[in-house]
Amino acid sequence: MSHKPTTVEDLSSFSVLIDVRTPAEYALDHIPGAINWPVLSDDERRIVGTTYVQVSAFEARKIGGAMVARNIADHLDRLMRDKPRDWRPLLYCWRGGMRSGSFVNWLRLVGWDAQQLKGGYKAWRAHVISELARRAPALPLRVLCGPTGSAKTRVLHALAQQGEQVLDLEALAAHRGSVLGDLPGTEQPSQKGFETQLLHALDALDPSRRIWVEAESRRIGRLTVPEPLLQRLRASPLVEIAATREARLAYLLRDYAWLGDDPQRLADKLGGLRELLPKETLAAWQAWALQRELPPLFEALMAQHYDPLYARSQGRQLERIGQAQRVEADDLSPDGIAALARRVASLP
């Protein structure tokens, strides 16, 4: 039973990947597929850290050592009784230090071939950053663009159902990329978590085939698209959905109907435009929101906010907008979107 340095490249050779950091650290970001068996709870880690600063490193290790020992014993008793002798776990903590090292030592004393990830989560994080920078410039992206209400995200979903490769950045970011874009009941991931899931999504794609993606600005909600991917997206060939205003309004009223369920929340979200709109315009829009008058509100948003914003940004953010292939649409119903996706997929 060897005990040697294990790197990110060795992840697939283990039975299970165990993140021994606190639940809060795990929730912020973790290696895909890892389970969380913490050796310190969030409160215990705070206690150890406070003792380290206010008393001494020795006292912190003494208190922390007892906590870690109790937690490891509990994991052994509750979670590992059924594990066979050939069970082979890989463990990691923040830097591949004492937390994962302690757990690995106990598992190896039992008789399992447990290993510790060299460099811990920090090594994984460095891997994510370097891999995104390496892969992004070569991605064969085809970019869907068009003003808000053109059903770009739904066309992406339809393309995926038709066998095309799709990279759905808004799904990964849990946000639809506009002032009204946050998803009800869904928190956005951390920036690190977003980038981890992005790399995980790229792992599932074939880089020799085209990959459809939606045009995005630098930020999706509070998250930032990694710079190498953003630059590749902006330089890639474009397909512009040119939908009629009537089709776009009908689509927005269907797709964002839930906004009418909480008028005050919708009015508050519109308040994020206060630096961009005259006070009278914003007041009128918020009044429509409070009255659940979505048709005039969405029509005004399209004409006075979204469309001018698209016109200003497309030349600046999309280098090849002048060569975009244009696909017209007057029907953005579910059937119309499926037909539109087939037309998009047939483009050379």
Tokens 């090292």 correspond to: 101
From 68, 91, 93, 329, the catalytic residue: 93
Long-range CB pairs of 58-64 (<8 Å, 24+ gap) are 64/40
CA 81 – CA 59 distance, rounded (Å): 32
Characterize the bridge pairing of strands 223-224 and 219-220.
antiparallel
Within 10 Å of residue 53's Cβ, how many Cβ atoms? 10
Question: Of the candidates 262, 240, 165, which has an alpha carbon nearest to the alpha carbon of residue 209?
Answer: 165
**Length reported for the chain:** 348
In this structure, is the dihedral angle defined by the CA atoms of residues 274, 276, 278 and 282, taken in order, positive or negative? negative
- Angle 152-155-157 from CA coordinates, rounded to 5°: 115
First-to-last CA distance in the chain? 55
Q: How far is CA 176 from CA 36, 152, 203, 219, in A?
A: 30, 11, 23, 11
Q: Are strands 325-329 and 238-243 parallel, antiparallel or unpaired?
A: parallel
Cβ contacts of 139 within 8 Å, gap of 6 or more = 202, 207, 211, 229, 232, 236
Beta-sheet strands, E only, within the chain: 16-19, 35-36, 89-92, 115-116, 141-145, 165-167, 211-214, 219-220, 223-224, 238-243, 325-329
Neighbours of 185 (CB within 10 A): 5
Closest CA to 260 of 184, 170, 154: 184
Q: Six-digit token pair at 322?
A: 């002048």
- 93 as an active site residue: the answer is yes
The catalytic site residues sit at 93
